[in-house]
Amino acid sequence: MQALIGTSTRLRSFIQDPRHFQIVFLGGFLTYGVLALGWDSQWMRYATLFGTCVGIQTIFIRWKGIPWSSLKSAVITALGMCLLLQAGSIWTLVFGATVAIAGKFLLRWKGRHIFNPGNLGIAAAVALTGDAWVSPGQWGSGAMLVFLVVASGSIMVLRVGRIDTSVAFLGTFAALVYIRTVWYLGWGADVWWHQLTNGSLLLFTFFMITDPMTTPRSGKARWLWGMGIAVLAFAFSWHFWIHAAPIWALLLGCALNPLIDHLMHGEPFHWVRPAPHAQRTF
């Protein structure tokens, strides 16, 4: 009986923290890539990103005296970067991962980090090194992949209460791409569907833009914010021909969050409901 109670307690603790779901799902996608898509030659890249993210997080844990449970966030960042970031050298990966984690602690506003860590790290590596890129084509666009990402992504964003952000972004982006592709250019709807079902876009929609620590606190603001990022991503992609446009749109969107939260108030998010006087989250 005691063992059963202990197991139930551990299961309840696991379910209460959405970070566990993110780790499981993102780890599952990485496993899918290795086993089904032939990514098994990139172990050094994975080890570099994991080692750097966890190592930098550990330094700040010891420096700031924050809970060791915050290592979960570093693992999530590492997994996200493994799935999206490509680079020509190990040092580029180290640089991107260092910026991603250090940015959480050094770029803050009123006790909250401003930028999505993985997004910031990827953007910095691509923009500042000339040796990094995001490769949407590595995922393909098969129906099974679409199902896996959308289904598991939906579960995750429902757990953190950010399904509104995903719907606002993907719905607006899909509508704009449809108008351009089908109505304006006269191409078939299959071309439009192919553009929407690449793995990088779906992972961005359900696992990056929905980071509860770097989305607006107000529900209404999140709808407007998600739609705005979709408009920016569409303009960057189809007017300015910028590669990996959603990454840059989200970077700008996160930069506006302090102003948005000042104008439209909402409840702060905590991965696990904190005890009194324990309000810091990283």
Closest CA to 82 of 57, 56, 47: 47
- Rounded Cα gap, residues 5 and 216, in angstroms: 38
Q: Are residues 154 and 238 in the same domain?
A: yes
Contacts (Cβ under 8 Å, ≥6 apart) of 207: 22, 25, 26, 80, 153, 156
pLDDT (tens digit per residue) in 27-53: 988 998 888 888 888 999 999 999 999
Contacts (Cβ under 8 Å, ≥6 apart) of 262: none
- Rounded Cα gap, residues 46 and 52, in angstroms: 10
pLDDT (tens digit per residue) in 50-66: 999 999 999 999 999 99
In a domain, 13, yes or no: no
Q: Are residues 25 and 67 in the same domain?
A: yes
Q: Are residues 213 and 154 in the same domain?
A: yes
Domain of 237 in residue numbering reads as 141-263
Per the structure, the count of domains in the chain is 2
pLDDT (tens digit per residue) in 124-180: 999 999 999 997 767 765 666 776 777 777 777 877 778 899 999 999 999 999 999
What pTM did the predictor assign?
A: 0.88
- Rounded Cα gap, residues 9 and 5, in angstroms: 6
